[in-house]
Structure 1
């Protein structure tokens, strides 16, 4: 008898890899995953906000296949070829206030590693500020910026130092104990302006415009604008980690656009190449030009196949970004209408199709309700809906493929609402 994927994985694959669901995936198409028996599951995870153009979009598949037939790898350090150059041009065509120069790599962690090296090298300063609850990767350098979960850092001694942390303006779980949204935002802005952390001996500030792993909490635009002003006044570089938010996820090409700010450095990955392993560190050209030849690099960065997947992905997404904005607003309105009175629904928040439902023991204490969240995920899975969590394991995150249509989106939302109301 043939062993299952689960049995084979348990024998040899590293046990540190956690999985949300016991699904044995055979193939995927559009917004659906199919198991080995052919059962279809509506995918509201998109491979953790990666499959933005849906699974195996024909234009992306075509771009990958055609590129693989002519050039799979040459190394960007050996010579010149079209795909990464076209991708850089294409990114600049959708970025405000360019030009930005590119460094391509394989993951978000590597993109943030590159950004960390860049800002320290060019500023000749070592101190960096990140935000409490932020997730910027799990490699050693990027991990020094990551605090979204304690277990990510436990057992890893001597992480690169000179990193300070400032409270993220997470309005629902306000670090300043303000219960009203407006008061929370105002206090976060006041604390930022008065903080002594943001001095001219700081190289850079790293921020997620939407707090990802720690709870899908959008940063208030007022705070982002104030942060940009503080950085400019103190000659601090501003790095926007758009790894999960970028390329249309929040209803704009980049989440920082909601606040109208102008970052010095932008990091990308996840939805950039529809599931092909590609990350990017983009920096204002005059800044990137200060990084000399050989100061950083990588064998696989700018791979022609992954870059062509990204080129095709951007072409596809150009038809969907405004629709993501509309569907995101529809989703928030729908969920608030159906769930605002639910005793265990503490908060519903998000931008575009990056939405979190914060499940709590009760609304007064706001204690994370991980038990209920796991029950909801399990029962939705039994009804053929794939969901994942973030926060303290208590936030249901909704991050479907961005090509999803309204009917399919509402189908999944109705399953989720029915499960929650019956819980």
Structure 2
């Protein structure tokens, strides 16, 4: 058997293209994939990875690509961070599973302790661990309904919360997430997101009006006394990295507190140092009642959590929360290694530094290319929205063309947005600044090629 290349930080940190993208080995693997993997599972860039780490991905043809995606904000600490690898290897040698609900183990408790330490607020907290972000959201809604005795849940335009039945109902975008999969869970109500670029009459009107519009709609169409929870991404992810104006989240949290509504912050994409704070809610000092986490929590292993106020979390009867694999010991070991890396390397600070490098160059790019209608985000969660110049008409075709150019030239970028017209950038927080600058140069060339 041919030895696999070494990943992690030892992988040479450079872009190097030796074939076209994708190359022959990846194309052959793609043929095998298409023969055995369901068509509904999509692929952004059809290159098959053999090693990864730092800021690069090495494919089956030997091409080394710059990574501006982090597996959708998952590998923030890198694809094979030393602390994650060491803890996972040690745990696998001990045991891979017992089920925490049958015979518990310390790793699960230690992850819950770390969540209590790092999530917003100094109040007493409890956590429950699951496998995916969608599971975390489902359970947060369960907990909120049980605690309040109410049923209604309020979500936002452009929201993404998952692909299970309940989370599809919470998710706003139809295609590809909801098309043909209904009927969906009931008692879900949608209100406008504070989306400065697309708010009627513009960003200043959004700042002045959005909160009152949301509160008025909840009052008139649902009734505050019927609402179990309001769930919101502090910075929306799949919907287009939408950043609400300062004051919106604070006012929304205050409204929930005044009306006995559980305020849920979905930090699945924005959490764990991604935005320059441990959690995006911290930017305005917002303290959610419940926080859902996944993605960046465990360096790529499947783990998710609901963390919240002790009195809310403990309202559920014993046996009401759980799952066979929730808080798997190997995933918990990975999470502890990931959190250790975030602490020791100050990855929140590195996220801020990434933003300091990226945002000025993207704004300068926007001055040259009127297709860029907005540059937004925080820390290492940055996006640009493309429209037909001089209008707010989305331009998904140019967005796809820019992404395709980047991919062909060795830069992995992701698209998102309700209209498919947003390029989002989620580089690993451990990426070298030279790779970051080189990747931005490729992006600039992509726009020049339009």
CA drift at 1:198: 5.6
Alignment of 1:190-269 (within 5 A): 190-195=212-217, 196=219, 197=222, 199-269=224-294
In 2, are the aligned partners of 1:198 and 1:230 still within 8 Å (CA)?
Answer: no
1:41 to 51, 65, 72: 65
CA drift at 1:81: 0.8
Pairing 1:146–2:171 present: yes
**SS of equivalent residue, structure 1 residue 147:** coil
TM-score (norm 1): 0.96
1:15 to 39, 44, 47: 39
CA drift at 1:158: 2.7
Alignment of 1:120-135 (within 5 A): 120-135=145-160
CA distance in 2, matches of 1:264, 1:221: 19
In 2, are the aligned partners of 1:116 and 1:141 still within 8 Å (CA)?
Answer: no
Residue aligning to 1:171: 196
CA drift at 1:378: 1.2
Gaps of 5+ in 2: 1-23
In 2, are the aligned partners of 1:198 and 1:231 still within 8 Å (CA)?
Answer: no
Pairing 1:312–2:337 present: yes
CA distance in 1, matches of 2:173, 2:295: 18
Residue aligning to 1:412: 439
In 2, are the aligned partners of 1:198 and 1:234 still within 8 Å (CA)?
Answer: no
Residue aligning to 2:11: none
1:71 to 68, 90, 95: 95
CA distance in 2, matches of 1:299, 1:163: 28
CA distance in 2, matches of 1:84, 1:145: 29
CA distance in 2, matches of 1:349, 1:29: 27
Pairing 1:188–2:213 present: no
CA distance in 2, matches of 1:73, 1:107: 17
1:337-388 deviations in Å (ceiling 9; x for gaps): 2322312111110011111111112232x11111111111111112110011
Residue aligning to 2:29: 5
CA distance in 2, matches of 1:120, 1:387: 38
1:273-314 deviations in Å (ceiling 9; x for gaps): 011011111121111111111112200011111011011111
Residue aligning to 2:428: 401
In 2, are the aligned partners of 1:328 and 1:353 still within 8 Å (CA)?
Answer: yes
CA drift at 1:222: 0.7
Alignment of 1:373-392 (within 5 A): 373-391=399-417, 392=419
In 2, are the aligned partners of 1:218 and 1:350 still within 8 Å (CA)?
Answer: yes
**SS of equivalent residue, structure 1 residue 204:** strand
Residue aligning to 1:29: 53
Pairing 1:294–2:319 present: yes
> CA RMSD, aligned part only?
1.5
Residue aligning to 1:369: 395
CA distance in 2, matches of 1:193, 1:36: 53
Aligned residues: 419
CA distance in 1, matches of 2:373, 2:68: 21
Residue aligning to 2:354: 327
Residue aligning to 1:272: 297
**SS of equivalent residue, structure 2 residue 204:** helix
Alignment of 1:108-127 (within 5 A): 108-127=133-152
**SS of equivalent residue, structure 1 residue 119:** helix
1:58-110 deviations in Å (ceiling 9; x for gaps): 22111111111112101001122111111111122222323321111110000
Alignment of 1:75-90 (within 5 A): 75-90=99-114
In 1, are the aligned partners of 2:55 and 2:432 still within 8 Å (CA)?
Answer: no
1:309-330 deviations in Å (ceiling 9; x for gaps): 0111111112211221132133
In 1, are the aligned partners of 2:128 and 2:321 still within 8 Å (CA)?
Answer: no
In 2, are the aligned partners of 1:171 and 1:184 still within 8 Å (CA)?
Answer: yes
1:111-130 deviations in Å (ceiling 9; x for gaps): 00111111111111111100
1:160 to 167, 185, 188: 185
